[in-house]
């Protein structure tokens, strides 16, 4: 990157190695330092953009979160339930078998 940016120091690099469980012996320190410096520079580029805008403003508002009122209403009486289907017996509706070979 052509722009000047803050470079990390040796102590920060050692802390990153410790947190990532890498050993300094198995890692090329110059390459790693350059890669971390490049990552930091990308964050500096991103920080120049205004992010104060609410990200939820991009989506239209919906009434999906408006729940119905919590009111108790009467259910159906048993004679009315029996009128719904002719296949009602002993408090249950008879339905086609869906398990087994018929599925």
Tell me: pLDDT of 20 over 50.
yes
Which residues make Cβ contacts (< 8 Å) with residue 58, sequence separation at least 6? Answer: none
Tell me: pLDDT of 80 over 80.
yes
The pLDDT of residue 2 is 47
> What value does the mean pLDDT of the chain take?
79
Tell me: pLDDT of 103 over 60.
no
The pLDDT of residue 49 is 78
Q: What share of the chain is helix, strand, coil (3-state, %, to 5)?
A: 45, 5, 50
pLDDT tens-digit map of 38-69: 888 888 888 887 777 777 777 777 777 777 78
The Cα–Cα gap between 83 and 70 comes to 28
Q: Is the pTM of this model over 0.75?
A: no
CA angle 52, 58, 64 (to 5 degrees): 120
- The DSSP output letter for 69 is P
Tell me: pLDDT of 1 over 50.
no
Cβ atoms 13, 32 nearer than 8 A: yes
């Amino acid at each position: 990157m052509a722009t000047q940016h803050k470079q990390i120091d040796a102590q920060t690099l050692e802390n990153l190695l410790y947190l990532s469980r890498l050993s300094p012996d198995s890692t090329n320190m110059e390459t790693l330092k350059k890669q971390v410096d490049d990552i930091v520079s990308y964050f500096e580029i991103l920080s120049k953009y205004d992010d104060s805008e609410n990200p939820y403003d991009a989506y239209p508002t919906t009434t999906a979160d408006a729940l119905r009122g919590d009111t108790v209403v009467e259910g159906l009486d048993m004679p009315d339930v029996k009128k719904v289907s002719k296949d009602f017996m002993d408090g249950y509706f008879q339905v086609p078998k869906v398990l087994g070979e018929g599925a």
